[in-house]
């Protein structure tokens, strides 16, 4: 859709062919790219499951005239996309009871469907005490709406989500990550249902009681922190379910993790990525699944560490995005795996001599599938795959081992570094979980604290 918009802006008529239900997404994408009226021709139904005859029939009956009309009508050119005009942050948009406020915000599509806390001026200003810049300072410009995220509108969404004022530095850092090009926010509307999640590291975890142990995503402040990011994606970035947020089965709420740095036998995720242990950070990841959580159990013939590694290899082979993992080079689609390990699992691996990097290397070498099965998956689980695995191997997109015999076992991971490992969850349980991502790199940002942070959180510590 974006290439068509760029063509339109230089006067070349273009038509986007989209499946049913994606016309609105095309127009929103065009507008965000600077074209107010991108030409759309809808293909009815799901192209991926139609046979050749049905495809030809639909092209003849539904697409052909729309394509011709779109390409032959005069182009109006495109307006350059930009951030919204100046706004009055203290403007009252509605007055009423809490129930009336919730109803109004719901009808405006400003909520996630759950009740909100009314973002009054007084509440928003209380949140702004925890940032070290002016309320209208640009923090990020978030696609696809291309709107500025500033402390004021970030705080509005944090209030609505149910956050406390002292959570504001975390939400600010998460917003910076959303706006980072590496996070590739523009492509988060995929029908696979990609979902952001937060990972918090450093001293702020214990300072603010962020949960990192048993049931962590459901306890303490973790749910509201994730919800705030979800509302920012909706109200600032402009993602709206059914319009440009197109997950086939929808989305759960954005969730929040914190690493169990005390029980982990390895360095924390933020230290692994170049930050000091005393620095607090937020990492924004992405996944399109939550669960299941296998429970590796050792037997007399295998030690616990070996069982854990073998179970992980089998889990990776189940991930639907595995057909992208072996790809190499600049044009390969991003695919990341984040593995959650309870502390007991991590310690079992460490006691057997495995560092975090050694675990990643083992998975790279041993997460395998037969070439025949891999070929079947790439052919029948994605409509995008029109070239064979062998063709990709010949072109250098896949490694040479993909030129082998059907029964040959081929590696699923392009390298060890697409795997990320986080120690969290109930430390007394032998559970693991693997989260598969796509389109986005996990993006880590330091949490910037106000100069009087220790003074501001005195009351928080007193309550604890």
Instruction: Answer whether residue 463 is part of any domain.
Output: no
CA distance linking residue 120 with residue 302, whole number of Å = 60
Mean pLDDT of 303-332: 77
- Structure pTM? 0.86
The verdict on 147 and 189 lying in the same domain is yes
Say how far residue 250 (Cα) sits from the centre of its chain.
14
When the pLDDT of each residue in the chain is averaged and rounded to a whole number, the result is 87
| Per-residue confidence (pLDDT) for residue 382, from 0 to 100 | 59
Q: Which range among 33-37, 100-104, 381-385, 411-415 shows the weakest confidence by mean pLDDT?
A: 381-385
Q: What share of the chain is helix, strand, coil (3-state, %, to 5)?
A: 40, 15, 45
- How, if at all, do strands 337-341 and 419-423 pair? parallel
As to burial, measured by CB atoms within 10 angstroms (0-12 exposed, 13-18 middle, 19+ buried), residue 117 is middle
Mean pLDDT of 300-328: 80
Instruction: Answer whether residue 15 is part of any domain.
Output: yes
Instruction: Answer whether residue 210 is part of any domain.
Output: yes
Q: Which range among 24-38, 169-183, 202-216, 358-372 shows the weakest confidence by mean pLDDT?
A: 24-38
Site of tokens 């395998």:
368
* pLDDT bucket at 331, cuts 50 / 70 / 90: very low
Instruction: Report which of residues 376 and 129 the model is more confident about.
Output: 129
* pLDDT bucket at 47, cuts 50 / 70 / 90: low
| Per-residue confidence (pLDDT) for residue 5, from 0 to 100 | 76
% of the chain exceeding 70 in pLDDT:
89
Is a pLDDT exceeding 50 seen at residue 127?
yes
Instruction: Answer whether residue 321 is part of any domain.
Output: yes
| Per-residue confidence (pLDDT) for residue 81, from 0 to 100 | 45
The verdict on 37 and 166 lying in the same domain is no
Is a pLDDT exceeding 50 seen at residue 462?
no
Mean pLDDT of 358-373: 94
Instruction: Answer whether residue 119 is part of any domain.
Output: yes
The verdict on 326 and 373 lying in the same domain is yes
pLDDT in tens, 308-317: 999 999 998 8
Is a pLDDT exceeding 60 seen at residue 86?
no
CA distance linking residue 125 with residue 159, whole number of Å = 10
Q: Which range among 7-11, 94-98, 240-244 shows the weakest confidence by mean pLDDT?
A: 7-11
226-248 b/e (C-beta count within 10 Å ≥ 16 → b): bbbbbbbbbbbbbbbeebbbbbe
Omega cis (within 30) before 423: no
Instruction: Answer whether residue 295 is part of any domain.
Output: no
Task: Kindly state the DSSP code that residue 302 receives in the 8-state scheme.
Answer: B
| Per-residue confidence (pLDDT) for residue 328, from 0 to 100 | 57
Give residues with Cβ within 8 angstroms of 88, minimum separation 6: none
Instruction: Report which of residues 300 and 167 the model is more confident about.
Output: 167
Instruction: Answer whether residue 250 is part of any domain.
Output: yes
The verdict on 105 and 240 lying in the same domain is yes
The verdict on 266 and 181 lying in the same domain is yes
- 24 is in which domain, residue-wise? 2-72
pLDDT in tens, 257-278: 999 999 999 999 999 999 999 9
| Per-residue confidence (pLDDT) for residue 76, from 0 to 100 | 52
The verdict on 333 and 406 lying in the same domain is yes
The verdict on 118 and 258 lying in the same domain is yes
**Number of structural domains the chain divides into:** 3
Instruction: Answer whether residue 31 is part of any domain.
Output: yes
């Amino acid at each position: 859709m974006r290439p068509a918009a760029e063509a339109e802006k230089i006067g070349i008529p273009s038509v986007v062919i989209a499946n049913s239900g994606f016309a609105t997404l095309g127009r929103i994408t065009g507008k965000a790219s600077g074209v107010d009226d991108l030409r759309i021709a809808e293909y009815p139904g799901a192209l991926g499951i139609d046979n050749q005859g049905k495809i030809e029939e639909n092209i003849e009956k539904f697409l052909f005239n729309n394509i011709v009309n779109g390409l032959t009508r005069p182009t109006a050119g495109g307006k350059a996309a930009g951030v919204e005009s100046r706004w009055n942050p203290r403007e009252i948009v509605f007055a009423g009871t809490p129930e009336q406020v919730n109803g109004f915000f719901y009808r405006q599509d400003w909520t996630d469907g759950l009740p909100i806390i009314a973002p009054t001026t007084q509440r928003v200003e209380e949140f702004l005490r925890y940032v070290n810049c002016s309320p209208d300072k640009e923090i990020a410009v978030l696609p696809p709406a291309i709107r500025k995220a500033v402390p004021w509108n970030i705080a509005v969404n944090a209030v609505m989500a149910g956050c406390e004022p002292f959570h504001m530095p975390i939400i600010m850092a998460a917003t910076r990550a959303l706006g980072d090009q590496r996070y590739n926010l523009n492509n988060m509307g995929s029908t696979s249902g990609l979902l952001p999640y937060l990972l918090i590291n450093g001293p702020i975890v214990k300072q603010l009681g962020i949960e990192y142990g048993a049931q962590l995503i459901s306890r303490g402040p973790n749910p509201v922190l994730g919800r705030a990011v979800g509302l920012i994606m909706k109200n600032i970035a402009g993602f709206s379910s059914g319009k440009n947020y197109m997950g086939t089965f929808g989305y759960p709420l954005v969730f929040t993790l914190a690493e169990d740095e005390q029980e982990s036998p390895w360095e924390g995720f933020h230290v692994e990525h170049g930050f000091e242990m005393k620095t607090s950070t937020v990492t924004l990841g992405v996944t399109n699944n939550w669960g299941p959580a296998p429970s590796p159990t050792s037997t007399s013939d295998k030690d616990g560490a070996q069982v854990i590694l073998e179970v992980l290899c089998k889990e990776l082979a189940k991930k639907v995005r595995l057909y992208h993992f072996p790809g190499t080079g600049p044009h390969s689609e991003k695919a990341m795996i984040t593995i959650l390990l309870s502390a007991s699992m991590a310690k079992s691996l460490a006691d057997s001599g495995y560092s975090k990097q050694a675990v990643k290397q083992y998975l790279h070498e041993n997460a395998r599938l037969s070439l025949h099965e891999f070929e079947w998956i790439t052919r029948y689980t994605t409509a995008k795959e029109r070239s064979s695995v062998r063709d990709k191997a010949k072109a250098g997109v896949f490694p040479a081992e993909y030129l082998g015999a059907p029964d040959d076992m081929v590696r699923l991971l392009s390298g060890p570094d697409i795997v990320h490992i986080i120690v969290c969850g109930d430390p007394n349980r032998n559970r693991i979980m693997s989260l598969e991502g796509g389109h986005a790199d996990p993006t880590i940002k330091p949490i910037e604290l106000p100069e009087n942070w220790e003074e501001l959180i005195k009351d928080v510590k007193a309550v604890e």
